[in-house]
Amino acid sequence: MQTYLVGGAVRDFLLNLPVKDKDWVIVGGNPEQLIEMGYQQVGADFPVFLHPNTKEEYALARTERKSGHGYTGFDVVFDDTVSLEDDLLRRDLTINAIAMDENGKLIDPFQGQRDIADRKLRHVSDAFREDPLRVLRIARFSARFCHLGFTIADETEQLLREMVNSGELEHLVAERVWSETSRALSSPSPSEYFRVLKRIGALNIIFPELDALFGVPQPFRWHPEIDTGIHTLKALDIARQLTDDVDVLMATLCHDLGKGLTPEDILPSHHGHEGAGADLIKRIAKKHKWPVKTATLCEHVARFHTHCHNIFALKASSVVKLLNNLNGFRQPERIAQFAIACQADAQGRSGLERTPYPQAAFLARCLEQCQGVSAQAFVEQGFEGKAIGDAMHQQRVGLIKQLQKSAH
């Protein structure tokens, strides 16, 4: 048996990036041998083994042949006749198809080192087209590495378009789409993921509600960039500068989805887009199986982001109601998440990227003041039932009024 370090670990080593997870491939071995050596087998589709000491993943060299639709429609062959080059040939990109032996020697049959030097994302072979999930993976790698100067090779981008046109993306399951998208969101340049999907015609399949925003105008007075899709991606990149919280990033991406539903006869105005977007998110999240906490924050940001923008003009009772609607008294961390998404929306406009957003700090102070209101104090005064909640509300309103006065 021979063991090689493969995939992202080798790529990131050559890019002088931190190596987080190490994947290994074993050539000339079989499951029985590894189990005897104390490896733990995991994975149902093909044998992957955890090293008895390091717990790193070791996979037997394998080949794959397309046998159905989607990313699961493959026949997998793994035995001691499969060579290292056979295994590397089935990988997606040349930069991910480099192996390193136990002495540090690189095995690079598909010129991955050249493409690292040239900053190119290039598919290894025509077998790339057999897995539609790779369309999303390439878009995600673009988001991850475009700040280093990586671009998609022309022939690979053409292949991506052909895969989109073939209809194979229709067979992707919701969980895998969410997995790739959520990882792309926390990349250094998350907007690039959606730009690539838009450019190759895949965004209309993967996220048609987002695709619908491109070309939709907004009032120049508030949005110098005019196009809602452009604004959305600018806001997303601003949010990424502020946080790597996937829930916040997704909420920022979805905050204006309601503008894609605006009747043409009232454009560029978007009256009522907040509620329309929040209701749309409920349907999307259910269909695409988004995590519940992600969907909830997305819905809240869509429905209430303009409340945050206008918080200095709101009545004190409306501010308390907003904190309640956001479930801020039970989940105070939600207020911070909400505020970041609102700030990204405000700053995700051409020429306004560095405009201060004092609303975020003020909202945090409002929550802090209101959190000091205790039900116990009113119980001790003899209040019961609904009267306790009413009294707490009134005390909170009074505290917010004091904050508003000091803010002016």
Distance CA 271, CA 262 (A): 8
Cα–Cα nearest to 85, from 72, 102, 73, 97: 97
* pLDDT tens digits along 329-347: 999 999 999 999 999 999 9
Label residue 217 by pLDDT band (50, 70, 90).
very high
Query: Which tokens is 210 given?
Result: 């987002």
Long-range interactions of 105-114: CB distance < 8 A, separation 24+: 106/10, 107/4, 109/85, 112/11, 113/14
* pLDDT tens digits along 344-385: 999 999 999 999 999 999 999 999 999 988 888 888 788 888
* pLDDT tens digits along 280-316: 999 999 999 999 999 999 999 999 999 999 999 999 9
Residue 72 has pLDDT above 80, yes or no: no
**Mean pLDDT, all residues of the chain:** 92
Calculate what percentage of the chain has a pLDDT beyond 90.
Answer: 75
Contacts of 76 (CB under 8 A, 6+ apart): 45, 46, 62, 63, 64
Distance CA 307, CA 309 (A): 6
Distance CA 37, CA 1 (A): 12
Q: Where are the beta strands (DSSP E) in 15-78?
A: 23-27, 40-42, 48-50, 57-60, 63-66, 74-77
Residue 130 has pLDDT above 90, yes or no: no
Q: Spelled out in words, what is the top-level CATH class assigned to the domain 1-118?
A: alpha beta
Distance CA 195, CA 296 (A): 25
Label residue 407 by pLDDT band (50, 70, 90).
confident
Distance CA 144, CA 54 (A): 27
